[in-house]
Copies of this chain bind each other. A is one copy, B any other.
């Protein structure tokens, strides 16, 4: 449970097993290929499995054997069961190779996403969000028989309820003009120069836009992390991973897709490392205690602090504790006590006189950090 900080990220990267086939495309069946990868070795998985049950050619049984051509007459229950077996088989392997603090993304439509989501939960993953990709330019419903199918759904899950995971909250908030990123994302469908074509014909029927993978990888991975895509197709995941300084492993069965993906990724330009520095959460800054400021006489014992509305006034004591009206405690504890609140961030609650105005003591901490950090 919780978001991973940088120290921990560095520690876990150091133990990444050596034999991973980094930045390559493994040709073949995704379940067999995943079986050959070491356990707990992957930071993030993005999976775009086949959507439509009637595309029988895309289905394999858990043992790897091919499912014979599905006709229009196939029995409905049987086909759902077949799809479920396939889904649970590849998800199980995905779970085996993910690190304990890794996450998995799966994209789908109403044809398959409910089955995928139930399987994700049944296998012990813990859903963090479902994300809606709103298509800016979806294909209309030509016959006027339903609502325009204008979105697809992504599921984002960690390894379990208590598992840690990476979520670059500050980066995403910055990306969204200082508003929390929501669970509904709008992107155009993949077209224009980005859409891979061969002799004027699109190479892959469901090529995903790079903007979608850009947001996914920026949100849930760190530079250097290993991203696996078991349904690699024409390699959108690999191209974006390379641009963003992440390592990728792709798995793909069709030779034509592999060839297109390799050319495409080779042409993708990695961003300069300095550009991959993103906004960091304050929790990743070194911790400074209030006592440090007192010890260094940034705040002298005897200084009077008040809240923003001057309802309470407390005196700083020699050990960095505060005292007010017979109550005492740390900057946090006393703030909580006085307000009758369960908790309180003392850094922003307590203020000191700064000329005519009041200034939160957090500014003193920032000054101290700037002065002491290299």
Contacts and interface: CB of A to CB of B under 8 A. Distances in A.
A177 B290 contact: yes
A169 to B, nearest CB: 4
Interface string A161-185: 1000001110111111111111110
B145 A169 contact: yes
A289 B211 contact: no
Given A64-B343, A117-B114, A275-B302, A130 B153 contact: yes
A215 B295 contact: yes
A173 B329 CA distance: 11
Interface string A107-120: 00111011111101
A150 B184 contact: yes
A279 B132 contact: no
Given A58-B342, A128-B146, A295-B214, A318 B178 contact: no
A254 interface: no
A21 interface: no
Contacts of A77: 122
A312 interface: no
A296 interface: yes
A276 interface: yes
A371 B33 CA distance: 41
A136 interface: yes
Contacts of A306: none
Contacts of A278: 317-319, 321
A16 interface: no
Interface in A331-374: 331-333, 339, 341-344, 372, 374
B295 A148 contact: no
Interface string A128-162: 11111010111011001111111101011000010
A237 interface: no
Contacts of A114: 113-118, 120-121, 155
Each complex incorporates copies of this chain amounting to 2
Nearest to A316: B275
Contacts of A120: 114
Give the one of A153, A175, A277 with max B CB within 10 A.
Answer: A175
Contact of A132 (B64, B151, B281): B151
B319 A175 contact: yes
A26 B31 CA distance: 51
A218 interface: yes
A3 interface: yes
A315 interface: yes
A278 B329 CA distance: 9
Contacts of A167: 145-146
A218 B318 contact: yes
B180 A148 contact: yes
Interface string A201-215: 000000000110011
A133 to B, nearest CB: 10
Q: Nearest 4 A-B pairs (CB), nearest first?
A: A114-B117, A175-B291, A150-B182, A110-B130
7 contacts: A114-B120, A153-B153, A174-B321, A176-B289, A210-B297, A278-B319, A279-B321
Given A114-B120, A129-B146, A175-B295, 11 more contacts: A76-B124, A77-B122, A80-B121, A132-B134, A144-B180, A177-B290, A184-B184, A211-B292, A244-B318, A275-B316, A278-B317
